[in-house]
C-alpha cells in the first residue's frame, strides 16, 4: 500500500536532473569502491608474496603505495555512497 506523499525513485521522471545526477554519483561511487578494494587486495597479495619470499625495497614501496592509493580512492567513495543512500531514503520517506 502506498503512503500519502511517498515518492519512489522508480516513479520519478527520468528527466529530473537531481535524480540523474544522483544516479551518476552512485555509479562513480560504486566504481570507486571497486577500485579501492582492488588496490587493498593487491596490497594484501603483495604483503603475502613478500612474507613468503622476503621483502625487497620495491615491494614494500609498492605495498605502501597501494594502501595509500586505496585509501584515497575508497574513503570518499564510501562517504558519497552513504550520502546517495540517505538522499534516496529521504526522497522515499518525504523527510526533507
Considering the domain boundaries, does residue 9 fall inside one? no
Which residue segment(s) compose the domain that 29 sits in?
A: 18-93
Kindly state the average pLDDT of the residues 40-52: 98
Considering the domain boundaries, does residue 58 fall inside one? yes
pTM higher than 0.75? yes
Q: Is 23 helix (H, G, I), strand (E, B) or coil?
A: helix
Considering the domain boundaries, does residue 57 fall inside one? yes
Considering the domain boundaries, does residue 11 fall inside one? no
Considering the domain boundaries, does residue 1 fall inside one? no
pLDDT digits (tens, 9 = 90+) for 79-88: 999 999 999 9
The set of residues, in sequence order, having a beta carbon less than 8 Å from that of 80 and lying 6+ positions away, is: 25, 28, 29, 32
**89: pLDDT strictly greater than 50:** yes
Domain count, the chain: 1
Considering the domain boundaries, does residue 71 fall inside one? yes
pLDDT digits (tens, 9 = 90+) for 71-80: 999 999 999 9
Amino acid at each position: 500500500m502506498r503512503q500519502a506523499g511517498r515518492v519512489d525513485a522508480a516513479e520519478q521522471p527520468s528527466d529530473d536532473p537531481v535524480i540523474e545526477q544522483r544516479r551518476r554519483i552512485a555509479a562513480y561511487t560504486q566504481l570507486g569502491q571497486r577500485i579501492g578494494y582492488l588496490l587493498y587486495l593487491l596490497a594484501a597479495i603483495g604483503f603475502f608474496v613478500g612474507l613468503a619470499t622476503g621483502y625487497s625495497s620495491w615491494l614494500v614501496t609498492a605495498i605502501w603505495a597501494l594502501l595509500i592509493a586505496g585509501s584515497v580512492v575508497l574513503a570518499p567513495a564510501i562517504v558519497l555512497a552513504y550520502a546517495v543512500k540517505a538522499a534516496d531514503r529521504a526522497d522515499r520517506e518525504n523527510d526533507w
